[in-house]
Chain A
């Protein structure tokens, strides 16, 4: 594959007697929109947790943009430019929408107590710049009127949008989305998808997303990775995946030909 930004090799994780991830291997090419699919329990979310540091992998190799991120802590992974969302949105409920945005900025030196001491005044203008960037993104996502309300008062759909807008504040090079369209009405789902395509075109951000809706997957993903029983059983173009016998047996079922 040309220029992979994200490489996973021989990834293994057991929980007690259960091998949740059993030697998973795949590549994600730079600037692609890649879908990760598979039946429930295939290990998709576990792969996200292992690669973003939220769960410690037993063994294997994970490289992001040419550097190993195997076993690194979640904040270090995020700092390296690989940012994720969660299946259940994590809006910081008792903070305002704008505070949620500003928090995610990765270039505020006064976030550290040392930086606060070494930048006693310059952090304030920086803060204004971050606020402006946050407002700009909120405008884009249609959340600007809610900037000063507590994030906890937002609807489920608005929270999904906020979480998506928020991770862009961290200026990621690659984004992992865990079921970004689950529980979201179709109109909002289309809006989020449109943002994904725009951001890829504008900033060259790579997207890897877990999704169960085959129509969304087939119409939007450049490539598809299929997992079952903790392993990757197939990966390739949507047209190939649709015809792959192993995938049809494990996941898609006989109706796959009808989709899209």
Chain B
């Protein structure tokens, strides 16, 4: 009998670390979306654009202008946040579908610029050589890890940095959610007119929400760039945002810890197709992955429409 499933990849630590790093980057990326979609009620389909702006700004400052990464990282985050403000100012007054269209268009524009402004972005060849500092840190971390016998797992440093970053960002966002600021945000999500009638400037809050999400997206962009040591337009394509939305559906709207669970589940499902030993060409197996993700999404929506950690009561009440 021919076995169609091989469990060998799951026994490999590299597999799990790889899943962990990418899931962590997805999770950070989606934290920003959760802030917008789950807690403010604005459908931001341009998150991938902010991720790209952050990553490119970081790389351009380091590679072309010779900035220290310690300066380039915060400045690139601010650049992405400013881009968030610039996009939000004219567009967050739009409701529902129109905002979705405006934001996805913005992400497409970012990608077009990345592909065509070759003097700045390297076009489709991308940018290299921005991660020298990271290589140093990584070697140092690995030398520390080797004292406990983990020196040959070279994905561990990025894994740790990614999830530590996720943890810090999540704690900040959860804390913000429990402030009066977070309460106004939720009120805007429930009913913008009611919030306005009570003296809350819904427009200003939406702009702030999108700017914060953009900054978080930029941080995901840095880590994604470090993971593959290269920045090129394809990695930051606008459809990356839809991975984030799939994670929101899986993990549940309005839950930050749900983002982590959703990201891990999604990336695990995407990667677990490696265990399929099918007589198919590689590209067909790759296409199969998305089919399985779609199936899992449908399953979640049928069995647990509020997502893994979403609150069913809130979903029902909101109608």
Contact = CB atoms under 8 A, between A and B. Distances in A.
Interface of A: 52-54, 73-76, 78-79, 83-86, 90-95, 99, 102-104, 106, 108, 110-113, 116, 123, 127, 150, 152-153, 166-167, 170
A94 to B, nearest CB: 4
A180 to B, nearest CB: 14
A92 B313 CA distance: 14
B199 interface: yes
Given A111-B180, A152-B317, A93 B190 contact: yes
Nearest to B211: A113
Contacts of B319: 93
A97 to B, nearest CB: 12
B47 to A, nearest CB: 20
Interface string B92-115: 000000000000000000000000
13 contacts: A54-B193, A54-B196, A73-B196, A73-B203, A83-B198, A90-B191, A91-B194, A92-B187, A94-B317, A106-B199, A108-B180, A111-B184, A116-B179
B193 A86 contact: yes
Interface residues of B, number: 27
A106 B198 CA distance: 8
A86 B314 CA distance: 23
B289 interface: no
Contacts of A108: 180
A166 B193 CA distance: 14
B208 interface: yes
Given A73-B196, A95-B190, 5 more contacts: A53-B196, A78-B198, A84-B197, A91-B194, A103-B187
Nearest to A153: B317
Given A93-B190, A108-B180, A86 B318 contact: no
The interface residues of chain B, by DSSP majority, are classed as helix
A54 B193 CA distance: 8
A170 B203 CA distance: 19
B197 A102 contact: no
Interface string B151-194: 00000000000000000000000001001110110110011011
B200 interface: yes
A113 B186 CA distance: 15
Contacts of B176: 116
A163 to B, nearest CB: 9
Nearest to A127: B180
A75 B179 contact: no
B181 A102 contact: no
A170 B184 CA distance: 14
B184, B186, B196, B319 interface centre (most CB from chain A within 10 Å): B196
B300 to A, nearest CB: 21
6 pairs of A and B residues whose beta carbons are closest in the complex? A152-B317, A90-B194, A78-B199, A74-B196, A92-B190, A94-B314
Contact of A95 (B180, B181, B187, B193): B187
B250 interface: no
Contacts of B187: 92, 95, 103
Q: Interface centre among A73, A102, A112, by most B CB within 10 Å?
A: A112
B201 A94 contact: no
Contacts of A92: 186-187, 190-191, 194-195
B180 A123 contact: yes
A102 B16 CA distance: 45
Given A73-B201, A99-B183, A78 B196 contact: yes
B57 interface: no
A244 to B, nearest CB: 33
Given A73-B201, A83-B197, A84-B197, A113 B208 contact: yes
B48 interface: no
Nearest to B201: A75
Of the listed residues B176, B194, B198, B318, the one surrounded by the most CB atoms of chain A closer than 10 A to its CB is: B198
A78 B198 CA distance: 6
A127 B184 CA distance: 14
A106 to B, nearest CB: 5
B196 A102 contact: no
A47 B186 CA distance: 29
B65 to A, nearest CB: 30
A86 B183 contact: no
A112 B183 contact: no
A79 B199 CA distance: 5
Interface hub of A85, A93, A110, A127 (most chain B Cβ within 10 A): A93
Given A54-B193, A92-B187, A99-B183, A167 B198 contact: yes
B227 to A, nearest CB: 31
A128 B188 CA distance: 22
B318 A94 contact: yes
